[in-house]
Amino acid sequence: MPVCAFCGHEFPKHVGILYVSNSGKTYWFCSKRCFKSMIEFKRRPEKFKWTRTYRIRRQKEKAKSAKTG
Ligand SMILES: [Zn+2]
């Protein structure tokens, strides 16, 4: 299962979007929302609460009370 380049979630291939940049790099996106956010709006995933990147970042900053999730 590919991992979304924006939100970091895993998803089945048939629902995702594969984007190939001009430099030949490939990005998987789980939804149009993630695709647009990254490619069209050039947003940073750390700024959005619904992304996994955001949660991982916050967990690293806290790094203390990490149980599960
Ligand atoms: Zn996504």
Centroid of ligand 1 to alpha carbon of 58 (angstroms) = 18
The mean pLDDT values, 10 residues at a time, for the chain of 69 residues are 92 93 94 94 90 86 65
Centroid of ligand 1 to alpha carbon of 63 (angstroms) = 24
Q: Which CATH number fits domain 13-62: 3.30.70, 2.30.170, 1.10.3470, 2.60.40?
A: 2.30.170
Annotated domain spans of the chain: 13-62
pLDDT at residue number 65: 62
d(CA 57, CA 62): 9
Centroid of ligand 1 to alpha carbon of 24 (angstroms) = 20
E runs forming strands in 1-69: 17-20, 26-29
Centroid of ligand 1 to alpha carbon of 64 (angstroms) = 27
For the entire predicted model, the pTM comes to: 0.76
Centroid of ligand 1 to alpha carbon of 25 (angstroms) = 17
Cβ atoms < 10 Å from Cβ of 65: 6
